[in-house]
Amino acid sequence: MSAILLPARALSPAGLTIAAGLGVLDTVVESGLANARLKWPNDVVVETKNGAAKLAGILVETRGLDPREPHYVVGIGVNVAQVSFPSELLAERLVTSLKTCAIDIDVDALLDRLLPHFAQRVEQIERDPRRLARDFLVATKLAGERVQVNAGERRRSGRIESFELDTGLALLADDGERMHFALEIVREMRALKD
């Protein structure tokens, strides 16, 4: 689906990506897929015996640069009923669908579940951004973990000190340096084994 948002005030694009990801995750968990999680920055994955398989992706685009009339397009793609995937795609990554995870639901029923979760999470961007950020960090399973952060040309590892929509990611690097990254520039964040 593509959702067009015309809010009264500009929203954080990173916050909108986080909200959409959590809305999708809430939906698939409610549908019975308890082993789903978020992968930074915009994928919903399912843990399989072969590793994390991509179930869904989110893409947020801003349209227009006038902050007095902000608008966004939120694209959400969920693999619902596929039971086979093109070999070219499988060569790139593991993928899955709700159907192959034994969740029998059609697109309309999934959309009926998704829209309220999506709306609730988008409201949190302004109403409760700290909880939204905390929920996201938990949903990625990165809370309390040693992580590697790739941002621009920088690649650093350490522990997350804070994660907030407005102030970004604070990292205590392995060498003791405290670093700060705006969420919009973080390309990858993944757990490292100690």
List pLDDT tens digits, range 60-99.
Answer: 998 766 777 888 999 999 999 999 999 999 899 999 999 9
> Which of 180, 176, 177, 171 lies closest to 145 in space, CA to CA?
171
Decide yes or no: CATH 3.20.20.70 for domain 2-127.
no
Residues 6+ apart with CB under 8 A from 33: 46, 55, 98, 101, 103
Looking up tokens 């499988």 gives 90
- The pair of structure tokens assigned to 40 is 């930074």
Q: For residue 24, give the nearest of 103, 96, 113 by alpha carbon.
A: 113
**Whole-prediction pTM:** 0.93
Per-residue pLDDT tens digits for 139-185: 999 988 999 999 988 999 999 999 999 999 999 999 999 999 999 89
Tell me yes or no: is domain 146-191 CATH 2.30.30.
Answer: yes
Domain map (residue ranges) of the chain: 2-127, 146-191
